[in-house]
Structure 1
Amino acid sequence: MAETRDALLVAAATVFERVGYHRATVDQVSERAGVTKGALYGHFDSKYALAVAVLDEHERALVRARARMRMAHRHPLQVLVDLGHLYCGQPAARRMLFEAPFCDELATERTERWTRMVRDQLHQVRTRGVLRPDVDPLDAARRIVAALVGVCLMALVLTRPGDVAARVESLWRAWLPSLVRPEAARTLRLGPPVECRGPAHPRT
C-alpha cells in the first residue's frame, strides 16, 4: 500500500538523520513506521534500496516544490532562493548523500541534476530581465551548487538546525549582487520559505 511505503520513507528519513546510514537498521525503521520488518521488505529489498528511495523522494520534493512555486506565480529569482533553502533543509538527505556509499555512487549524478535545475531557473530569471548580462547560467549554477554543497557539508557538524538556514541566507546575500541587478535583489526574501518550516513528508 502507498500509505505503508510513505510511512516507511518518513520513518527511514528520521532514523537516517539521527544515526546515519551505517548505524541505522531496518528494525529501527520498521518499528518507527509501525509495521513489520516483512512489510518493509515487501516494499524495499534492502536497507540500501530504502535509503536510495529516501534520496529519490527528496529530489522529487524539490521538483514538486518548484512546480508549486511557479503555479503560485512566485518570481523565478525568489524560486531560486527558496530552492536553495529546500536543497539544504532536508537533514536526512543532507547526511546520507555525503556518506559512503552514496557519496561514491550517487552524489555526482544528483549534484549534476541539481546544477541543471539551478541553470534552468537562472534562464527563467534572465527572461524577466534581471540577470546581469555577463552571467553565464551554467557557470553560475555550478558555483552556486558548489557553495550549497559546502553548506550541506558544514551542516553535518552543526548542532543547531537554525544555523543551516542562516548560512544559506548568507550565501544568497553574498551571491546575488554578482548575479542580478540591485533592484531585483532588494525585493527578495532571503530567509527560508514556509516550505522549510515544518517536517517534510512524502507526497506533500
Structure 2
Amino acid sequence: MIRVLVVDDEALVRGGFTHILNATDDIEVVAAVPGGQALPAVRAARPDVVLLDIRMPDVDGLTVLEGLRRMPDPPVVAMLTTFDADEYVATALRSGAAGFLLKDTDPEQLPYLVRALAEGGTVLSSKVTRAVVDGYLDKDAREPAVRLAARLSERERTVLVLMAEGLANTDIGERMHLSTGTVKGHVSAVLNKLQVTSRVQAALIAERAGLLASACEEDAG
C-alpha cells in the first residue's frame, strides 16, 4: 500500500485528491492537511509520497519542501500548482522535488503518477512542456553538465537516460535486464557522481549534457 499525504490549503483540492486516490486498491491517503500542518502530519503519518501545493497563503510550499528534505528518510515530494508556467518550478526541482503536477491533472492519470513517484520515477505533468522547464534553467549549464556526466560509467549513463525518461527502478531493471536492487545501486551512484539529490535534477543534467538527444539518435539509427 502506497501511503500518500496531500498538502493544500483548499479543502476542495484535498477532498478531490483523497477521493480519487482512495478509490484505488494500492494507494491510501493517510492525511490531507493545510500547509501549516504539513511537517507534523508527515512526522505522524510517515507517508511514502507527499503531494505539496507550491503556493499557499499560510506557508510557502518551498519552505515546507526544505523542511521535508531535512528529515531522516524523507518522503518523495511532488509539487502541485494551478499554473503551467510557475516561477517557482526551477527552485522546487533544484530543492529536491521529484515531480511537478498541475491540479487539473486527469483524474485517471493521478494514481499512475503517484505509483511512479513511489517507485522512484520522475513525474512532470504533460502540460509542463520541455520548453517551460527549459525556460527556468541556466542557459550556460551545458559545460558543467557535460563535465559531471563524464564521471559516469557507460552503464550509469544508460541508467541516467532511462531515469530522465521517467522510468521507475523496476522498469529500468526490465529494460536493462538487471535486478531492482542493482538498479537502486546504480541510481545512488549516479546521484552521488552528479552531486544532486533527486532524479529530476539528474534528468535536467542529462538533458543539458546532450545525453537524451544522443539516445534519441541511437534509437532512430
Same fold at TM > 0.5: no
Greater RCO (Cα-Cα under 8 Å, separation 6 or more):
1
Greater strand percent: which structure? 2
Could you tell me the TM-score, scaled by structure 2's length? 0.28
